[in-house]
């Protein structure tokens, strides 16, 4: 079968690498892809906002499955346009992608389905926001509604900071959610669903802050590891029963079933797991560590999700090892990154046994250069997290990327716990 993968990040490089290994994958295309993805797929220049053009391509190339990696085309309804024409798609339609696209939508769904999450109010103008703010103790969380690539959230330690965050949101003419602060450790749970059946698909912990020791501004993710033992099997079951299953059921009841991967960002509080947010896609860089551990036939599994046959599938085959990935970003990230910096040493890094997934890279006169914020995800697998961390950093040391930087402590919480 021919497959079309939409996206160009490290997540899509990891998906392309695994899809290309599936026996049923005849030809893999990626739009737009990147130089790393090009090792596994034919890159095609398609405007993914032009649904008719994507459909034409699918017909011309007899595409049997479209896998949508990033959130923007999901929220834009690309999956609906393709499904309406009979093309199987991995990824939710526009209505279901609101679980990621609108924080207000998700909070309202949690309230009506009694899903544990932070208390909140939705506000639509500055005066209302400032008035409602008083009812919340500090710290308080202020979120812009809509997609913000991890950057639309302020955990305000003072009223001043909260009022400034509210000011910035409404200067842009937006909507906001004010939330109660939840204390605990964060963990990510991935669940495949075809709208009815559920299949837990691994856990991970991400490092969202740009600096060592979880300091500095939020990013899309500077590193991750999987599995995340802090989400014990009992807590995972609780999160599925109390959070994910009622969400999938509510979406189906509303006539907008969610089909794809539901990525639940959870806070492990003293009262149990609570939902921080949903994403309607795999995490980046969490996908890189999941794909390093997944040993099954990815194409067959994603196709089963797309065709509503997930309930017939056996439990997914993951290695019991730990995978850890270190993101190398261009200086300036998460602000405006330096572009054009040269990248070398990928072959040397992979010779150590690690895998280098590419994100913001481009070829310039035959040389690999940085073209975005997050540039590489250096990923290793080992029997313990400490060994995986050591292996990933040994591979990072082989990379020659003078205009880049990385955190030096990915996995620190779990490494410390395992050393106890
Ligand atoms: P989000 O974009 O909703 O994932 O929020 C980004 C980050 O802000 C999360 O990963 C958390 O670290 C933090 N955060 C969001 N909401 C809360 C909350 N209610 N309580 C504590 N931290 C939060
Ligand atoms: N790494 C966080 C995300 O993909 O949203």
Who's near 169: CB < 8 A, 6+ residues apart? 129, 142, 144, 152, 175, 176
Q: Rounded to the nearest whole angstrom, what is the distance from the C-alpha of residue 276 to the centroid of ligand 1?
A: 6
- Per residue in 168-181, pLDDT tens? 888 867 788 899 99
270 within 8 A of 184, measured Cβ to Cβ: yes
149 pLDDT tier (thresholds 50, 70, 90) = very low
Q: Rounded to the nearest whole angstrom, what is the distance from the C-alpha of residue 309 to the centroid of ligand 1?
A: 34
**How confident is the model over 110-120, as a mean pLDDT?**
95
Residue nearest to atom 19 of ligand 1 (CA): 181
Residues above pLDDT 70, as percent of the chain: 98
What count of other Cβ atoms lies within 10 Å of the Cβ of residue 114?
9
The average confidence (pLDDT) of the chain is 95
Residue nearest to atom 5 of ligand 2 (CA): 283
Which ligand minimizes its atom distance to the CA of 147?
1
**How confident is the model over 25-49, as a mean pLDDT?**
97
pLDDT value at residue 171: 81
Atom of ligand 2 nearest to the CA of 221: 1
Q: Rounded to the nearest whole angstrom, what is the distance from the C-alpha of residue 406 to the centroid of ligand 2?
A: 17
Q: Rounded to the nearest whole angstrom, what is the distance from the C-alpha of residue 317 to the centroid of ligand 1?
A: 31
**How confident is the model over 241-258, as a mean pLDDT?**
98
Residues above pLDDT 90, as percent of the chain: 91
**How confident is the model over 17-30, as a mean pLDDT?**
98
Q: Rounded to the nearest whole angstrom, what is the distance from the C-alpha of residue 279 to the centroid of ligand 1?
A: 13
Ligand 2 pocket, 277 CB below 6 A? Answer: no
- Per residue in 364-402, pLDDT tens? 999 999 999 999 999 999 999 999 999 999 999 999 999
Ligand 2 pocket, 284 CB below 6 A? Answer: yes
176 within 8 A of 127, measured Cβ to Cβ: no
CA pair distance 185, 290, nearest whole angstrom: 20
């Amino acid at each position: 079968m021919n497959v079309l993968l939409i996206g160009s990040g490290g997540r899509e490089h990891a998906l392309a690498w695994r899809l290309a290994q599936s026996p049923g994958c005849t030809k893999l295309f990626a739009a737009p892809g990147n130089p790393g993805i090009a090792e596994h797929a034919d890159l095609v220049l398609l405007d993914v906002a032009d649904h008719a053009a994507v459909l034409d391509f699918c017909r011309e190339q007899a595409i049997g499955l479209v896998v949508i990696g990033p959130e923007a085309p999901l929220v834009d309804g690309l999956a609906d346009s393709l499904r309406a024409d009979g093309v199987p798609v991995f990824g939710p339609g526009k209505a279901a992608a609101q679980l990621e696209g609108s924080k207000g939508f998700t909070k309202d769904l949690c309230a009506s389905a009694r899903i544990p999450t932070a208390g909140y109010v939705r506000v639509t103008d500055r005066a209302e926001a400032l008035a409602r703010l008083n009812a919340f103790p500090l710290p308080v969380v202020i979120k812009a509604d809509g997609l913000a690539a991890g950057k639309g959230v302020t955990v305000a330690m003072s009223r001043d900071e909260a009022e400034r965050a509210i000011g910035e949101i409404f200067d842009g003419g937006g909507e906001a959610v004010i939330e109660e602060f939840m204390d605990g450790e964060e963990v990510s749970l991935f669940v495949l669903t075809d709208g009815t059946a559920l299949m837990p698909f691994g856990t991970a912990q991400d490092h969202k802050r740009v600096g060592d020791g979880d300091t500095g501004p939020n990013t899309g993710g500077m590193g991750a590891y999987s599995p995340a033992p802090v989400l014990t099997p009992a807590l995972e079951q609780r999160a599925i029963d109390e959070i994910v299953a009622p969400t999938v059921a509510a979406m189906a009841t509303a006539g907008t079933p969610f089909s794809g991967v539901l990525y639940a960002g959870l806070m492990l509080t003293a009262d149990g797991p609570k939902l921080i947010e949903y994403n309607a896609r795999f995490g980046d860089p969490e996908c890189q560590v999941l794909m390093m551990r997944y040993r099954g036939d990815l194409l067959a599994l994603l196709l089963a999700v797309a065709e509503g046959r997930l309930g017939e599938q056996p439990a997914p085959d993951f290695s019991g090892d730990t995978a850890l990935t270190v993101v190398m970003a261009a200086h300036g990230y998460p602000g405006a990154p330096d572009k054009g910096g040269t990248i070398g040493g990928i072959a040397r890094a992979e010779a150590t046994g690690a895998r280098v997934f590419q994100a913001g890279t481009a070829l310039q006169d035959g040389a690999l250069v940085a073209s975005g914020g997050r540039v590489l995800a250096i990923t290793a697998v080992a029997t313990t997290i400490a060994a995986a961390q050591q292996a990933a950093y040994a591979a990072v040391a082989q990379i020659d990327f003078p205009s880049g930087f990385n955190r030096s402590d990915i996995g620190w919480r779990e490494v410390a716990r395992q050393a106890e």
